Structure 1
Amino acid sequence: MTEEMTRYYARRAREYERVYTLPAWQMGIAEVRRRVLAAFAGRRVFEVACGTGYWTELIAGVATSIHATDVNDETLTLARGRPYPLGNATFAVHDAYMPASASPTWNAGFAGLWLSHVDATRMEQFVDAFHSHLVPGAIAIAFDERDDPTRTVRGMRMDDATGNRYEARRLENGEHYEIVKNFIDEPRLRRALARHARNLQYDDLGRFWIATWEAT
Structure 2
Amino acid sequence: MSNASELIQEMQTYYHHRAADYDVSMGYDQPEVVAQLADVIEHLRQLVTGKRVLEIACGPCFWTEQIYDCTHSFLATDYNQSTLEQAALKQLPAHKVQLQQANAYQLSDLPHDFDVVLAIDWLAHVPMSRMRDFLHDLHLHMKGQVVFCDQLPGSKSWTGKFDSEGNHLQSRHLKNDASYTVIKHFFSDTEIANIFSDFPVNVEIDRYPDVQRIVLSYSLNPTTIE
Say whether 1:213 aligns with 2:218.
Answer: yes
CA distance in 2, matches of 1:35, 1:75: 25
Structure 2 residue aligned with 1:202: 205
Structure 1 residue 156: deviation in Å? 5.4
State the partner residue of 1:182: 185
Counterpart in the other structure of 1:78:
86
Q: Which runs of 4+ in 1 moved over 4 A?
A: 21-28
State the distance in 2 between where 1:215 and 1:60 align: 22
Equivalent residues of 2:171, 2:180 under 8 A apart? yes
User: Do residues 158 (structure 1) and 162 (structure 2) align?
Assistant: yes
Cα distance in 2 for residues equivalent to 1:23 and 1:82? 16
**8 A contact 2:161–2:169 mirrored in 1:** yes
* Cα offset, 1:42, TM superposition: 0.7
- 1:197/1:214 contact within 8 Å kept: no
Identity %: 26
1:133 is displaced (CA, Å) by 4.2
Residue equivalent to 1:106: 114
For 2:56, the equivalent position in structure 1 comes to 48
More helix by share: 2
2:194 paired residue number: 191
RMSD of aligned C-alpha atoms?
2.5
Deviations 1:18-46 (A, max 9, x none): 31448996676222101111111110001
Separation (CA, whole Å) in 2 of partners of 1:164 and 1:8: 17
**1:156-196 deviation line (CA, Å, top 9, x unaligned):** 5211x211111111111211111111112222223323455
Q: Does structure 1 residue 64 correspond to structure 2 residue 111?
A: no
Paired with 1:181 and 1:52, the residues of 2 have a C-alpha distance of 19
**Secondary structure in 1 aligned to 2:74?**
strand
CA distance in 2, matches of 1:28, 1:97: 32
Q: Deviations over 1:65-114 (max 9, x none)?
A: 11111111110111123222362111222111113236620001111111
Could you tell me which runs of 5 or more consecutive residues in structure 1 were left unpaired when the two chains were aligned: none
Deviation of 1:205 after TM superposition, in Å, equals 1.4
* Native 8 Å contact 2:50 2:72 kept in 1: yes
Aligned residues: 211
**TM-score, normalised via structure 1 length:** 0.86
| Preserved contact between residue 156 and residue 168 of structure 1 (Cα < 8 Å) | no
Q: Is the 8 A contact 2:77 2:99 kept in 1?
A: yes
Q: Is the 8 A contact 2:41 2:67 kept in 1?
A: no
Question: For the structure 1 residues 200 and 72, does the alpha-carbon distance in structure 2 shift closer, same or farther, using more than 3 Å as the test?
Answer: same
- The 1:188–1:172 alpha-carbon spacing in structure 2 relative to 1, beyond 3 Å, is same
**2:41 matches 1:38:** no
Structure 2 gap segments, 5+ residues each? 1-6, 222-226
